[in-house]
Structure 1
Amino acid sequence: MKKLFALLVVLFSVSFSNQIYAQSSEKEAVTKVVKAYFEALNASDASKIVALFTADGQLFAPSAPTAVGTEQLQGTYKYVFDNLTLSLVASVANVTVDGNYAFVTSTSKGSLLVKANNQKSEQNYRELFVLQKVKGSWKIVRYMYNQPA
C-alpha cells in the first residue's frame, strides 16, 4: 500500500510539474506577442501590428470608434502612423492563460510626436490585451488602452 501511495504521489508530482511548465511556456508565448506589438508600434508598422490580430480582432481606443477586423485595424493604424510617431517602453504587469484565451495587462510610457506641428509630449498608458490561440498561435482578439487619471 505504501508503494502504491508513493507511486501515486510521484505521478501526481510529475503531472503537476508538466502543467506548470506548459502554463509557463504559454505565458512566454503570449508575452512575446505583446512585445512584438510594441516593437511594431514603435516602428510605425501597421501591417506588422495587424498581423498580430485575429481576422475579427477589435481595437478600443479612447475617443475613437471601435476598429473591427483587418481592414479597419489597418486603416486605424495607418491613420495613427501618418499623424503620430510613438516611442514607448512597455512593461507587462500580468499574464493569465485560461485554455485558448489569455489576458494581459501592461503599462507603457514614452513620447508621442505630432507630425503636423512637430510637438512632442511624454505619455503614460495602461493596456489590456485579450489573446486567443488560433491554429496553435496566439493572436490579439481585443485590445484596449487608456491613460491613467
Structure 2
Amino acid sequence: MKKVFLFITVMIGLSATAQSKEQKAVEGVINTYFQALNASDATKIVSLFTSDAELLAPQAPTAVGSEQILGTYQYVFQNLKLNLKVTIDKVTLLKDYAIVTSTSAGTANGAEVTGGYRETFVLRKDKGAWKIARYMYNTPQ
C-alpha cells in the first residue's frame, strides 16, 4: 500500500511539474508577443502565430494566415506606437492547446488607452513549440 501511495504521489508531482513547464512556455509566448508589439516588430509577431492562425480584431476583417496577419500588423504599426503591459489572468492547458485570457493597459501614440484591452489567445503546439492559433481582443467599453 505504501508503494502505491508513493507511486501516486510521485506521478502527481511529475504531472504538476510538466504542467508548470508548459504553462511557463505558454506565458513566454504571450510575453514575447507584447514585447514585439511594443517594438512594432510585425515580423516577430507573425513568427509567434501558426501558419493558419486567425486574428479577430474589433472593427476589422478577420486576418487569416501569416500573410494577412503580417499585413494587419504592418498597417497597425504605420498608424500606432503601442506601449502596453500585459497581465495574464488565466492559462488553461488542454493537451496540445492552451487558452489564455489576459488584460493589457498602456499607451497608443503616447495617449493612455482608456480602459485597456481584454485578450483571448488560443495556442496550439506546433512541432513541439507553442504558437498562437487564434487571437481576439476588445476594449471593455
Deviation at 1:122, TM superposition (A): 1.2
Q: Is 1:53 aligned to residue 45 of structure 2?
A: no
Instruction: Report the residue type matching 1:135 in the other structure.
Output: K
TM-score, structure 1 as length reference = 0.92
- Aligned pairs (5 A) from 1:112-127: 112-113=108-109, 120-123=110-113, 124-127=116-119
Higher Rg: 1
Instruction: Report the residue type matching 1:64 in the other structure.
Output: A
Query: Which residue does 2:6 correspond to in 1?
Result: 10
**Mind listing any 5+ residue stretches in structure 2 that lack a counterpart?**
none
Q: Secondary structure, in 3 states, of the residue corresponding to 2:61?
A: coil
Supply the distance in 2 between the matched residues of 1:148 and 1:109 (Cα, whole angstroms): 12
Of residues 53, 76, 79, the one that matches 2:75 is 79
Q: Secondary structure, in 3 states, of the residue corresponding to 1:17?
A: helix
Supply the distance in 2 between the matched residues of 1:111 and 1:14 (Cα, whole angstroms): 47
Q: What percent of counterpart residues are identical? A: 53
C-alpha RMSD of matched pairs (Å): 0.6
Supply the distance in 1 between the matched residues of 2:61 and 2:24 (Cα, whole angstroms): 31
Supply the distance in 2 between the matched residues of 1:68 and 1:122 (Cα, whole angstroms): 29
TM-score, structure 2 as length reference = 0.97
